[in-house]
Structures are given as structure tokens and as C-alpha cells.
Structure 1
Amino acid sequence: MTVDHFDAVVTGVGLVTPAGIGVADNIDRVWSGVSTAARTPALAGLPVDFSCAVTDFDPLRDLGRRRAARVDRVSQLGMAAARGAVADAGLDHRTWDGARVAVVVGTSFGGVASLEREHDTYREHGHDLVSPLLMVTAPVNMTAGYIAMDLGALGPNQVVSTACASGATAIGYARLLLRTGACDIAIAGGSEAALTPTGAASLAKMGALSGRRDDPARASRPFDADRDGFVAGEGAGMLVLERVEDARSRGARVRARISGFGASADGHHPSAPDPTGSGAERAIRAALDDGGVSPAEVDHVNAHGTSTPLNDVTEAGLINRVYGDRPAVTSTKGVIGHLIGAAGAVETAYTVLAVETGLVPPTANLENVDPEVDVDVVAKEQRKVRIEAAVSHSFGFGGQNAAVLVTSP
């Protein structure tokens, strides 16, 4: 396996997910394979009234009143994850050269909760009571902007929105910024907080969500023969990326490397994956080529694995065609649900942690593997695997695909 001289190294990981806050809490829950899905008060009365929500995050406690009070939850989660990643990297934002620090955030819906709330206010009470803050809470760019304000990160500041591939795409583009010399440090990842009644109603209506209201904890079951849809979730995941030489010069701990990235479009359907998997395959092969890694060298795949009937069979066929039966495959959506725009970032973070620890987390709720799924899916318990190279898959509505290649330090 050859290593690209432009590898970005991961020196910090920040996580605010349904599995907990920080690396340790996420490893405890995700690597134990215990689902976080539960009934959600905000969705009461809907056909699907459960989700994977972040329940132990207090924005006033964790961010302070000044930072938390006037921003949407999507930005609160993103700022907390960014703070966590910077702290994990051993960096101090009060002393760094902020002009050399980039922020790239992936999100699909942005501040949709603020938008829904103010729309309700307008309909019920008229225009006089609509908040002027809507224009600085709802737009998708604001999470990146607020992270810059919070941490003094004054370099390139960007948002990418490629549906469920957004977080992975953000990490890929942040690596490019480092590669071109546009920054020295990049905070990259995704944030999503779209557990709103309107969004949940639409997803349920289109048949994307699991209908297991009687047993939410077992609803998300990727690759299982009895799966019936995904469980919506929320959360944020951020990585601190640096050049190899910069991390070494300051004595930073390197968790893993981001060695390749690939992106593509299906050009097939607004919501259904291309049954041939050809678009996703192009993204995966591009990531492998970018990092100089052959498919036969991949030890682990963190699958998109949504728990929907179409995705899981299509993706399993794709994995088998590209990698064969060698890699240990998992989908962490069985534990944390589908975090939409943050999914790719959080799952890349989990892939980084799997490479670092040599432990692949299990796919929760996998009891009977679909006969059409002919890959080595890790289930029941975590598996010890020597991981030199791993790939995280992310596929989104609109047919937008992204793949991130993670390699050992």
C-alpha cells in the first residue's frame, strides 16, 4: 500500500450524537451495539413518533448562554462537536493563527427547526411576531459561520450540502484545502438537527422510515431480512485535520489518516439508489485511486447501511463487487439511526476510531441476514481486526455519493 504525501491526519475527533458526547461515550454505546431509538415527544401524534435524538446535550451548560441562546440547534450541536474536536487535538484556539484555520461543514437541512417555528408564528400571529433572528439561524451556512465566531477560525469557511453524503463530502473538501495550502488546520464534519414534525411526516409518507412503533429500539436493522426503513436521527461529528508534517512538528497524537476521497452522482432517481450501484462504485474507486490503495487491501467498510430494503441490497452487491468478501462490514445506523447530513461525518469518525483501536463495531439488531446480502457483516458483538485501510460510504437523496478512505497512522 502506498501512502500519498498529501495525506491529512486526524488529530482530533468531536462527537455529539444519540450515543453520547465525546469519543469515550460514543465508543461505549456504538461498540456495544445498543440502539438509541426511542419515542420522541416532539413527534407525538405522527405516524412515526420515534427517532434517535441527542438527549444528554444541554446547550446552555455545554456552550454557555451567550453562544447558545440565539442559534438553531443544528449550530449548537455543530459548535459543541467542533469544540470537542479542537480539545481532542490538543489545540488552543486562543493562541492559533485563525487565518490559517478552515471550517467545512456538511448539512442537509440547516436550521429547519427555526424555520418551522417562525412559520408557525407567522401563520398563527402574523408578521409582527416573526423573529428577525430567523435570517441568521435558518440558513445552511450559519453553522460554519458560528463555529468560526466561536473558535476564531478565520480561514476558508464553507458549507456543502449533498444530502446524506454532506458530512463525508465536507471532510473530502477540507482535505483538499490542506493539500492546496489554503489552510494549515481544518475543522471538518457535519451537523444535522431536523427532527421536526414536518420533516418526519414527509419521510414517513414517502415510506423511508421504519414503522416499528411498538418496538423502536429494534427498528433500525441494517442488512436484516426483516428491515422496513430507517430511523431518523440528529447529531454532529467534527474532525481536526492537519498535514502530516505539521502534526509531527507539534507532537500531536495522530488517530488515523484521511488518505483518499471520491464523489459522484447517480443521475438516476430523486430518492432511490441506482440498482446497478455504478455511481457509488465510481466514488469508491476514486477514493481508493486517490489514496493508492487497491480494493484487496481494504480491511473494513463502514457501510451507508440505512436499513431500507433498496439501499442495503444494492450496497451489499456493490461491496461484494468492489472488495469481495474480505472486509469486515458494519452499519452504525443500527445504533444511532440516520443522521442525514451529519451521517457521513460521524461514520467517518467511527471509521477513524475503528482503525485506531482495531475494533469494528457490530451492526445492531441484525438477527437474520438478508439472503441477498452476501458480505461479511459484523453482528452481535465487536470484532477485533487489524485495519490498515478502511472506507466509509455515504449515499444521499439526489443520487449524490461520497467515499472516504481512512488508513492507519
Structure 2
Amino acid sequence: MANFLPLIVGFGGFNAAGRSSGFQSYRRMILESLSGDLRQQTLSSLSHLMGQASYDEQAVINGTLVRQVGHDFFNVNNTPAGKRINLEASPRDPAKFVIAGKDLPYPLPEHWTADPLDDGGKRYQISIDSTQTLTLSCTSKMPVQAAGQLPTGFNPGAHYRSQHHPRGLQMSILAASDAVKSMGIDWKEATSKISPDAVAVYSSSVMSQLDSTGFGGMMQARQLASRVTSKQLAMGLNTMPADFVNAYVLGSVGATGGVTGACATFLYNLRAGVEDIRSGRRKIVLVGSSEAPIIPEVMDGYSAMSALATDADLLKLEGLHSTDTPNYRRASRPFGENCGFTLAESAQYVVLMADDLAVELGAQVYGAVPGVYVNADGHKKSISAPGAGNYVTMAKAVSLARTLLGEQAVRERSFVHAHGSSTPHNRVTESRIFDEVARAFGISNWPVAAVKSYLGHSLGPASGDQLIASLGTFAHGIVPGIKTIDSVASDVYADRLNLSNTDIELGVDSSQIAFLNSKGFGGNNATATVLSPSVLNGFLSKRYSAAELSAFRDRQQASEAQSKIYLGEADKAELNPIYAFGTDLIDESEIKLTPDSISLPGYAQPITLGDSEGYSF
């Protein structure tokens, strides 16, 4: 039998443009191109998400997309920092100060003398008779002050019982719930048709959970004189986005994993899901990634690599004085005159379903992913430098689309979502790849989107941001323009590319194939081929009878109706994420095991045993 086609039957998440389901975040990016009613609906739903007491359109616009880091993260002009100083002292001229007895270190540091100032030992005078280096707690101004943050006022942890959860995991719970609820099919109903192990979840983060409730708090604890908690190590793992979804959203006993590939991480996880469904091993796969990297230490790390757009460099680009304030909204400028990328937070998930199960359930279809390609660069002189692997992934992805839909479809009805990191090196190397591939396949005016211009670079979920925007283009026929640039930089290879600083209105009929491109440190290249719902009719009609397809369309009406109910609630910020903590636990004493099957209490179908895995001895 032919491979099963992985259909996208649900999607959800949150980034700097808002909520993914219902195309809210996509519509925020093309706001200038929306009609009056749709524009108003988008702004209104964002207003609710941001918790506005009264609707303020300009506040919604200002409080979304890339902007200056808000004080709800940290004060970028007074960020906590340590300052090393030399305390000069000698036996003849010791340094002296008074501390509380409870703060007295034990054992005393070398060259310290402690003299009690009272009988109870509540206060001591410290004398130091040698020059020593001390670290003081102070503040400093961050050289990078722009980031792609969730909409101002939106707190993911406030929507469920999120005690001690790092921000990235809070976002995972909400994003995965958003995707599952967007299907319009109850999760238990969908999984009742299949074996419990025909489900999989692939999700991860690149930077792990580095805030105070994760690895960040654990690693800083000793030097900050605080205690490591019992949760920081476990919560910090980069596989936790998948683990949280399994344990608290889906209750899944199926396959699970967290694949990481630097900035191509989402596509790496997508590839695992696509391969599972194509082979028939899984029928439903939830794919995603979540990242919350807007913390001073991560920004310092990328700044040390000269990778981020600093305020000073942005001012130079804009021809402004060093005392001026840069336009933070335009910090990320893919394929224009730029100076570095802009960090962002995001969590994105899609529900993949095998075509046969989707037809049986009447699932809504937002797109399909027939292939994801991953290739390394070979020998490299720098771990961060681009290389040959991305030529391979792009060529394979385009070739697949040509094989499936023909040359004319690729030439006239496809578009590209670029990695578009907004670095001077990327704009040259990635555009050259696109231009060369376009030449090879006879494409003369290839529309190219770069959504990091709106959202910033969310690292692991970055290609998830691209996928969600592609689904929006399939539905609305508009490719978001790169509105943060005045013009394309002179060193960009753009002869065969359509790089526009305004939205590109292709129309739904001309928006049938999306190529998602992602480039990561270390040679982690990935490109996905994504097909619109409009091109799937031919595939489905070859595989299913007219009667089966008619019943499928009828069942779709029910799932669409349920989805609309959820989206209406979500537009009012009534997210009510799925969070099943300590409920529906599996009673292991009720597990029934035979040589041919395992039956788990609470799951409709048994897990069959005896698969040969394709081998014959």
C-alpha cells in the first residue's frame, strides 16, 4: 500500500503576534491587508488576550511583534549584574565592616577576623588584612534591548495551575491545548479509534528551561546563596515540552521524543512525526517546540557571539546619534541592511493525522506535509558558518513538490518561508541558495517571506512560526511582506526572488506549496514541503471512493462547528487549557497482558503484540 499522507488537522500556539489557532497571529502580521471586519476581529481578540480592561487599538499594535523588552521580564536599563572590585587592605591598614551574625560565613575566608560586638553574637566586626577581590550586586544597561515577546499583558501561567513551571513549559501547555482544541474533535474520541501506541509526541526546546524555576535557578543557586529546589533540575530538561504534553495534556502512552537541531529543531521534530505517519507506525502525532529565551544570560551569550542586533548597531543603520533611541520595531531586518538577529519566545504545535483516520473522523484539513529533509554541511571551518547542506535540503523539497504536482505548480504556485535570521551573512548565503534552486527549477519570481521580521528568532520553534504563517497564506492567499526593510540589500541574490516590503497578494489558488527553510548552528539544515488543502482533492479522490469522500465532508461539518465554538471562546481569552494533573491515572493492577496484546484501563483499544518489524528469519 502507498504511504499514508500526514495531514495537518489542528494547529495552535503563541508568539509575539498572538495566538496561532484561528490564524490570529498570522492575521496580525498581515494587518494592513485585512478588510475592516477581519481587521477589527483580529485586534479585538488580541485585546482580550492582552487582558485590556477597555479596547485600545494602538495599545494592541504597540504591544505585539518585536519591541523593547518589557519590565515584566526585566529592566533592560537596570539589569541585575555582578561587579568585581578590589578591596585594598593590609595588616597595618585593615578594611573593616559590620555584618549580622547570621550572615557570618563558615569557615571564615582567609585573612578575615571576626570580633563579636555583643554577647549574643548578633553582630560582628570583620577585619580584612589583605587585598581581596569581591563581587558586588549592581545593575547595568543591556546592549541589546529588542525581543519578540508574547503580547503585553498576556501571562500564560495565569490560565492554569502553573506553580513552579518554567515559562517555556507554561507556554507548552497552552500551545498544545490550543492545537488539540482547534481540531474540533475530542481527543479521546479521536484516539478511541486507534491503538494507544499509535500516538506520538515530538517536542523539545533548544536552550532548555533557563529561567529561575529551571536550570537557570539551579546553576546560580550557590553563588546567589540560595537553595536548589527539588524541581529545578527535572523542569530544566530540554525534553520537558514533550513530557508535559504527554503527562498533563494528552495522557499519552504512545511514542515520545525531543529532537534538537539548533534553530531547525521544529522541523527535526516534524520530520520524526512525518516519518511515523508515512510508515503507518503512528496515526496521530503532535509535533511542536517551545522556547522562552528572553533572559539576560541568554541575550549575553548570543551578544558575545556578535549575533544579536545591538542598540548601537541599530542606531548606526538608522544614521542616528548614540544618545537616540533605535526603532525597536525594526530590529529584525531579513534581507535588508541589517546587523544581527533578535531573540524571541514562542511555542507552536501542529496535529498530524494519517489520511485514512482523518477521513474516518471527518477532521478539518489545513495542509499536508509529504516530506521534510535534513542534511549536514560536511567539513566546516566554523561551527556557526552556513554550508552545503542547505542546498541539498532545498533541492530535495522542491523536487518532491515537482514530482507530486508538476513543474507548473512549483513555478507558479509556490512560495518560500526563509530562515531569514537578519544577519549580514545569512542574507547573502540563504538568498544565493534560493536563487540557485530557482534557476535550476525554472522559477523566475519566487515569493519569499521572512516572518522573523515580525516575530524575532524563537530558536527551536522558529520553523513552527513559519509553518503557522504558511497555513495562513493557504487560507487567505497573502504572503506577509518583510515590512521592516526599506529595500533589499545590494549583496542579496534576488534576480529570481520576490522579496517585498509589502504583503504579496497571490490569491488562494496561487498559494498551494510552501517551502519552509531552516538553518541552525553546527550545520543543522532542514527544509519542509507543505501542501495546501486545495491540492489534496486529487490525492484523496484517488485513494477513496466518492461515497467515502461524501461521508468525510459531512463529518467535517461537525468538527468545524466544534472548532468554531472553541475559537469563539479563545477570541475572548477563555483558553481553558487542558491540564490534567493527577487525574485519570492508570491503575497498573488493572493492566491485562497476554502473549498477543496489552490492554490498559481507560484506553478503548488494546496494544497488539507480535510485530516482526519487517524481518523474516
TM-score (norm 2): 0.62
- Aligned residues, how many? 397
Alignment map for 1:373-392 (pairs within 5 Å) = 373=492, 374=494, 375-385=497-507, 386-392=510-516
After the TM superposition, which residues 286-305 of structure 1 pair with which residues of structure 2 at under 5 Å, given as runs?
Answer: 286-290=396-400, 292-293=403-404, 297-298=409-410, 299-305=414-420
Aligned to 1:140: 238
- Aligned sequence identity (%): 26
In structure 1, distance between residues paired with 2:515 and 2:301: 31
- For residue 312 of structure 1, the aligned residue among 404, 419, 427 is 427
Q: Please list every run of 5 or more consecutive structure 2 residues that lacks an aligned counterpart in the other structure.
A: 33-60, 77-140, 315-324, 534-617
Match of 2:220 in 1: 120
Q: For 1:199-214, list aligned pairs within 5 A.
A: 199-211=298-310, 212=314, 214=326
Deviations 1:217-247 (A, max 9, x none): 11111111x2111111011111000111211
Residues 272, 406 of structure 1: alpha-carbon distance in 2 compared, 3 angstrom cutoff: same
Using the TM superposition, give the Cα deviation of residue 295 of structure 1 relative to its aligned residue in structure 2, in angstroms: 7.0
Q: Measure how far apart 1:307 and its partner are.
A: 0.8
- Whichever residue aligns with residue 490 of structure 2, its letter is P
Tell me the residue number matched to 1:48: 144
CA distance in 2, matches of 1:117, 1:69: 15
Q: Does 1:37 align with 2:35?
A: no
Match of 1:83 in 2: 177
Partner of 2:157: 60
| Paired residue secondary structure (1:365) | coil
Q: Are 2:473 and 1:354 equivalent residues in the alignment?
A: yes
| Partner SS, residue 185 of structure 2 | coil
Distance 1:14 1:29, change over 3 A: same
Distance 1:295 1:377, change over 3 A: farther
Answer yes or no: is the 8 Å Cα contact 2:157–2:167 preserved in 1. no
- The aligned amino acid for 1:229 is G
Letter in 2 for 1:273: P
CA contact (8 A) 2:5 2:277 kept: no
Matched ranges for 1:209-248 at <5 A: 209-211=308-310, 212=314, 214-224=326-336, 226-248=337-359
Higher mean alpha-carbon deviation, 263-272 vs 292-301, is at 292-301
CA distance in 2, matches of 1:233, 1:108: 13
**Letter of the 1:16 counterpart:** F
Cα distance, 1:347 vs. partner? 0.9
| One of 386, 389, 393 as aligned partner of 2:517 | 393
Match of 2:200 in 1: 102
Distance apart, 1:83 and its partner CA: 0.7
1:20 matches 2:53? no
Give, in angstroms, the shift of residue 122 of structure 1: 2.2
Matches of 1:182 and 1:71 in 2, distance apart? 33
The structure-2 alpha-carbon separation of the partners of 1:168 and 1:161, relative to structure 1 and needing over 3 Å to count, comes to: same
CA RMSD of aligned residues (A): 2.0
- Match of 2:483, SS? coil
Q: Which has the larger radius of gyration?
A: 2
Q: Work out whether residues 109 and 140 of structure 1, in 8 Å CA contact, stay in contact via their aligned partners in 2.
A: yes
2:329 alignment partner, SS class: helix
Task: Report the AA paired with residue 80 of structure 1.
Answer: L
Paired letter, 1:304: H
For residues 207 and 396 of structure 2, the distance between their equivalents in structure 1, rounded to whole angstroms, comes to 27
CA distance in 2 between counterparts of 1:59 and 1:329 reads 32
Which residue type is aligned with residue 222 of structure 1?
Answer: P
Between the aligned partners of 1:43 and 1:396, the Cα distance in structure 2 is 30
Q: Corresponding residue for 1:181?
A: 280
Which residue of the partner structure matches residue 261 of structure 1?
Answer: 372
Match of 1:281 in 2: 391
Instruction: Say yes or no: does 1:344 pair with 2:463.
Output: yes
1:87 is matched by which residue type in structure 2? K
Q: Which has the higher contact order (CA 8 A, sep 6+)?
A: 1
Q: 1:106 to 1:355 in 2, by over 3 A?
A: farther
**Partner-residue secondary structure (3-state), 1:78:** helix
Residues 359, 383 of structure 1: 8 Å contact kept: yes
Q: Which 4+ residue blocks in structure 1 deviate beyond 6 angstroms?
A: none
TM-score norm. by structure 1 comes to 0.91
Range with greater deviation from structure 2 (96-105 or 138-147): 96-105
Gaps of 5+ in 1: none
Counterpart secondary structure, 1:147: helix
Contact 1:13–1:88 (8 Å) recurs in 2: yes
Task: Classify 1:295/1:105 alpha carbon distance in 2 versus 1 (closer, same or farther; 3 Å).
Answer: farther
What is the rounded CA distance, in whole Å, between the counterparts of 2:75 and 2:280 in structure 1? Answer: 45
**Which residue in 1 is equivalent to 2:104?**
none
Contact map agreement 1:174 1:188 (CA 8 A) in 2: yes
Tell me if structure 1 keeps the 8 A contact 2:386–2:523.
yes
Kept in 1: contact 2:307–2:341 (CA 8 A): yes
More moved, 379-388 vs 69-78: 379-388
Q: Name the stretch that deviates more: 288-297 or 24-33.
A: 288-297
DSSP-derived class of the 1:132 partner: coil
Q: Please list the CA deviations of residues 263-302 of structure 1 after superposition, one character each: whole Å capped at 9, or x if unmatched.
A: 011132311212xxx2101112233445535676431000
Q: Distance in 2 between matches of 1:362 and 1:328?
A: 9
Tell me which residue corresponds to 1:74. Answer: 168
CA distance in 2, matches of 1:43, 1:119: 22
CA deviation profile, 1:105-152 (whole Å, cap 9, x unmatched): 1421121222112322221215xx111101221011111000001221
| Structure 1 counterpart of 2:142, one-letter code | L
Q: Is the 8 A contact 1:360 1:378 kept in 2?
A: no
Other-structure match for 1:198: 297
In the superposition, relative to structure 1, how do residues 295 and 121 fare at CA in structure 2: closer, same or farther (>3 Å)? farther
Q: CA deviation at 1:380?
A: 1.8
Please list the CA deviations of residues 65-90 of structure 1 after superposition, one character each: whole Å capped at 9, or x if unmatched: 1xx22322111112211111111112
Q: Which residue of 2 aligns with 1:92?
A: 186
